[in-house]
Amino acid sequence: MEMLRQAMAAHQAGKFDEAEALYCSVLKADEAQYPVLQMLGVLHAQRGNYPEAERRLKAALALNPNDAGGQFNYGNLLLGLQRFDEAFAAFGQALALNPGLAAAELNRGGILMSRKRFGEAIVCFDAAIRINRHYAEAHCNRGHALQEIKRYGEALASCDAALAINPQNAEFHASRASVLHHLKRFEEALGELSVALSLQPANAGFQYNRGNILFELKRFAEAVAAYDEAFRRDPELEYVEGDRFFAKLMICDWTNHAAENEHLVAGVAAGRPVARPFVFQAVDSAQAMQTRCANVFADHEFPAAPYLSTGRRYRHDRIRVAYLSADFRAHPVSHMVAGMFKCHDKSRFDITGVSFSPSDSSAVRQRIEKACDRFIDVGDMSDAEIAEMLLETEVDIAVDLMGPTQGARPAVFSCRPAPIQLIYLGYSGSSGAPYIDYVLADRIVVPESEQKLYRENVVYLPDSFMGPDSKRAISPDTPSRTEEGLPESGFVWSAFSNSYKVSPQVFDVWMNLLRKIDGSVLWLSQYDAQAMDNLRREAHVRGVGPERLVFARRVTHNHDHLARLRLADLFLDTAPLGAHSTVCDSLWAGTPVLTCTGATFGGRVATSLLSAIGLTELIADGLPEYEERALGLARNPQLLATLRAKLVDHRDSFPLFDTKRFTRHVEAAYTAMWERFMQGQAPAPISVPAMPRS
């Protein structure tokens, strides 16, 4: 007994070598000593020697299978081995032997959380709290689970309960900050993270979360600093490298751009979660890397859940289609789809809009609501509740209008609430998810040679995969150049893309154009103040006066923005990630667009749009040709005037803005998907034939 006491004292003091030697000495005298086998197993687990730990713990349980503590220790080992089903069973056995073992309930809840079974996890955490109402970790974990199912008020109360028990726990403050973040109480969330960092200054995760909140507040320079600190402390922290890169792009900070770009590509190639797919779109890479990033993200963050609709075939008078998005508001996606919603053949299709965000009372939101057979606001519902709702309403086809973008709810689709699921428009690429059956595209954005890169089956629409709204209003009154801060004379290049799309390589070309075309200006969107300052500085470095960059004033109404686009002489696309809805804006306003075909879906959108409107002469192959064509148009006013006239003529005679025809193509795709499913056939690539002009 004395030797065992010495062994346990050494173990408790962290003297593992001494403790192991003493435990083994005790066992030499008697190998059937249950407590010694237990402690030796725990010691091996602490040292990371899991095979030996399992051998010792199993030997102990063979001697005494009815010891709750032994079953609990074995469950903890199985957790470390990521054998979650066995661990869950071991904790259950421990609870059967000792119902008062609160830690076993906590661990079972943690396993259920990892499976995204949040409601069941809450039951476990509640049980742990009933056993011990002062169990702070159980209160905190309950808050996590409640947050996941959007019950933020209750989640905040659970975090408060945890902090009331232990106000010096940094993780509890960070958890409360996370709930406040979701409640959009950003300043309070930053305050909680400050407390957490005061308790754990070296915690990279806290800095990363701080960066996320600052980014959402559009305080991008501060976000970069927070991401920098997080990345410095833990370069392997998931997604921090990509988010730091993207935040720098938001303020046009291109320091170490090429090296950071290359490092991100290498991380994705290695299958590491270094960047979210939306962020990685702005990274100069091949389409194979873009889809790999999406695959890694989907597998890591939103793996397939138990399917709800497997084998269900509904026989409705009309095919039931549900469109899901957080962007049914004054947003480019809504401006793009409003016309299609209006043009849907309601005798054949039953249309439901499912909104993740509340109404902004915009005209486009009201137009979309009116165009749907039903419109449902599900912002306060959990992912599981939304999926159940889609199942109960017997939706045939669920359309994800977001993909892996901010505000999306991929977990809804992971439950497969509809027998047919597809991604369209909101994200230019693959969802990366095995439960998304189709992606709507065209042969330019997804060449047939790249079909194999996509987990989805590619549906080829004729012309372009985009169907801009032909009913978008443009104010009849074009403002003056002076009103828009532009010079009265001189060539106006426009580039109304987001700041993160302005790469240093395309900016080099733009500055070449300004130097070579006297009196010309570059008209850009109004960015973050730091971004505008950085671009002015970058222009000066390239020998261009900062005053030749004109940042557009903000306007309230989209029809006024479209009207002012007429003032531009030529819209310049970005690279490697191109403009999308802004290309449609300019073409609809009558301003020609010059593009450079990229290597990815996101870099080929303008090429698709220009091809569908019959302006292929505005498609360059590489940046040198892009610059050459831009100069040629700026130096030849007659040629540019001819192009503008051609654009105006083609808006009415070419497919791009024929919204009714485009909608018929989409409906033909839906019908083909539905017929395959009803015939018991697996999803497969689909090619939609071109229909006559409407």
CA-CA distance, 59 to 37, in Å (whole number)?
Answer: 7
User: Any idea what DSSP says for residue 32?
Assistant: T
CATH number of 319-460, picked from 3.10.129.10, 3.40.50.11380, 3.40.50.1370, 3.30.70.80? 3.40.50.11380
Strands 549-551 and 420-423: unpaired
Per residue in 615-669, pLDDT tens?
A: 999 999 999 999 999 999 999 999 999 999 999 999 999 999 999 999 999 999 9
Predicted confidence band of residue 1 (pLDDT cuts 50, 70, 90): low
- Looking at the domain that runs over 2-219, which CATH code has it been given? 1.25.40.10
DSSP H or E segment with residue 534: helix 529-541
Per residue in 120-148, pLDDT tens?
A: 999 999 999 999 999 999 999 999 999 99
Amino acid at 690: A
CA-CA distance, 425 to 441, in Å (whole number)?
Answer: 9
Strand order in the sheet with 570-572: 549-551, 521-524, 492-495, 570-572, 593-596, 619-620
- Average pLDDT (113-118) is 92
Taking the domains of the chain in order of start, what are their residue ranges?
A: 2-219, 238-305, 319-460, 492-657
Per residue in 464-484, pLDDT tens?
A: 999 999 999 999 999 999 999
DSSP H or E segment with residue 551: strand 549-551
What is the pLDDT, as a whole number, of residue 144? 98
What is the pLDDT, as a whole number, of residue 693? 86
Are the beta carbons of 104 and 112 closer than 8 angstroms?
no
Q: Which of 114, 146, 149 is nearest to 129 (CA)?
A: 146
Per residue in 398-441, pLDDT tens?
A: 999 999 999 999 999 999 999 999 999 999 999 999 999 999 99
Q: What distances in angstroms separate CA 296 from CA 235, 302, 401, one per listed residue?
A: 18, 10, 20
Per residue in 196-230, pLDDT tens?
A: 999 999 999 999 999 999 999 999 999 999 999 99
Q: Which of 409, 395, 405, 407 is nearest to 425 (CA)?
A: 405
CA-CA distance, 97 to 76, in Å (whole number)?
Answer: 16
Q: Do domains 2-219 and 319-460 have the same CATH topology?
A: no
Residue 249 has pLDDT above 90, yes or no: yes
CA-CA distance, 224 to 242, in Å (whole number)?
Answer: 11
CATH 3.40.50.2000 fits 492-657, yes or no: yes
Per residue in 264-282, pLDDT tens?
A: 999 999 999 999 999 999 9
Q: What distances in angstroms separate CA 429 from CA 30, 293, 450, one per listed residue?
A: 64, 11, 11
Dihedral sign (CA 316, 319, 322, 328)? negative
Per residue in 567-609, pLDDT tens?
A: 999 999 999 999 999 999 999 999 999 999 999 999 999 999 9
Measured in degrees and rounded to the nearest 5, phi and psi for residue 492 equal -115, 110
